[in-house]
Amino acid sequence: MKEVKPQSFVRWFDRQFDSNTGSEYFDEFLKLLEDFPAVLNQVLKSCPTEVSTRKMGDKWSVNENIGHLILLEDLWRIRFRDIMKGKPDMSTADLSNTATDQSSFNKMVVEELINDLVSEREKTIVMLQKLSEEDLLKTSMHPRLKQPMNIIDLMHFVAEHDLHHLHTIKSIIGTM
């Protein structure tokens, strides 16, 4: 089993990831991605709005962390398609996270945000379930990491990103 746990002591942009992960990990990563919204829902099931919308300095609130995850689902699907199409480079992300900062996620309730995440993640899962073994062998260059990634590597990356934000959310609600 491939170990998937966040490198919580390392800033997200400083983390490193393995490349060329074997297709034997597909089902494991698919399950992690599929189960994540339910895990998040369990953690936040009794989180009051005054806690989920509170910002700590310039850091995102719980709601903004969830909103960020919702916004990134489209990027993940684009990057999975980039790999499947054999593009040399994956599409880039807005590393300044402008869309998250400009959205009004704190005007929403946690349940609504999680439902939106479920909906977006389901689209990603359906797409991944349709992949062929040939698709799993293709690679594209990750724009920030400057390393080739296959579908499984990107699934691992997304699962780690989920865990990074889960850890962040848990520390926010733990400090309230």
Quickly count: other Cβ atoms within 10 Å of residue 101's Cβ: 14
Read off the DSSP letter of residue 115: H
Q: In the chain, which stretches have pLDDT less than 70?
A: 1-15, 175-176
Q: Do 13 and 140 meet the contact criterion of CB atoms below 8 Å apart?
A: no
Q: Cα dihedral sign for 11, 66, 76, 136?
A: positive
DSSP 21-69: --GGGHHHHHHHHHHHHHHHHHHHTT--HHHHT---TTS--HHHHHHHH
Write b or e for each residue in 3-37: b if 16 or more Cβ atoms lie within 10 A of its Cβ, otherwise e.
Answer: eeebeeeeeeeeeeeeeebeeebbebbbebbbebb
Give the model's pLDDT for residue 119.
98
The pTM of the full predicted model, rounded to 2 decimals, is: 0.89
Helices 62-84 and 110-129, interaxial angle, to 10°?
A: 10
Structural domains of the chain ordered from first start: 40-174 (1.20.120.450)
Give the model's pLDDT for residue 81.
98
